[in-house]
Amino acid sequence: MVAEPPPPDNAAKQDFALETRGLERSFGALAVTRNVDFRLEQGARHALIGPNGAGKTTFINLVTGALKPSAGRILLGGSDVTALPQEQRVKRGLARTFQINTLYRGLSVLENVCLAIGERLGSGGRLFRPAGSHREVLLSAYALLERLRLADDASRLVRELPYGRQRLLEIAVALGLEPKVLLLDEPAAGVPSAESGIIIEVIESLPADLALLIIEHDMDLVFRLARRVTVLVQGTIMLEGTPREIAGDARVRDVYLGEREHR
């Protein structure tokens, strides 16, 4: 029997949805991100946690291009995007929401989503007035609003929406870019519990092939949504594992979870 030849090198290679290698960022003598090697798999449901000042926001700003690293590399789908500006990373499939939303408050719900879809299709600059004058954009926007339970609010101005609905709209805007990687920065922060349940259900229903990274302080939400958790402390990764492994680790309880028990 003739042995099968070994697979070529590139067959064994896995391209992660998002990867950082030796990522570092310093502000003067202060190192806020230190040699971070991080991998987000295709279709991941991954959470990034850590105490205040751990460097979570800096890490996300480095990944999205809002900050330039002092050292290291950032890859999307196996391609090096370290030198690319934010808008080019968006075009490569990276989208994010913010802890404090950045919606156009003077525009309608529909217009906000149309602008995102128009940007993806290259017609964003022609969509301000009237929004959705292009049929493809309009239909796509309405379909997205229906998916996120926002269709009834399509004509309302963003500033008229309850805060929880605004957080849902921010996710809709991000999805309008058809990302491959979505970063959710505390998606339920400041949202009343009656509305946060809807946000969680929407996140749970996101496409299975979308790689999701959630930056969150609410451990109940983290343990409900995430299949993997990374703990960042003082700008470096202290631990990564399943929610059960993270909840059971004494070091995590000491620096972040306190004495509270999570099951």
Q: Where are the domains of the chain?
A: 17-93+179-194+207-263, 101-178
For the chain, first and last CA: distance in Å? 53
- pLDDT for the residue 252: 87
The 10s digit of each residue's pLDDT in 31-75 is 999 999 999 999 999 999 998 889 999 999 999 999 999 999 999
> CA–CA separation, 56 vs 255, rounded Å?
15
Return the residue matching tokens 């105490």: 51
pTM of the model: 0.85
Q: How many residues does the chain have?
A: 263
CATH of domain 17-93+179-194+207-263: 3.40.50.300
Whether 8 shows a pLDDT value over 50: the answer reads no
Q: Do 22 and 80 form a contact (C-beta atoms < 8 A)?
A: no
pLDDT for residue 53: 87
> What interhelical angle do 135-147 and 109-121 show, nearest 10?
120
Q: What band does 190 get if pLDDT is binned at 50, 70 and 90?
A: confident
DSSP codes joined into one string, 31-47:
EEEEEEEEEE-TT-EEE
121-144 residue pLDDT tens: 776 555 444 544 578 888 999 999
pLDDT tier at 261, thresholds 50, 70, 90: very low
Q: What is the mean pLDDT of residues 6-20?
A: 66
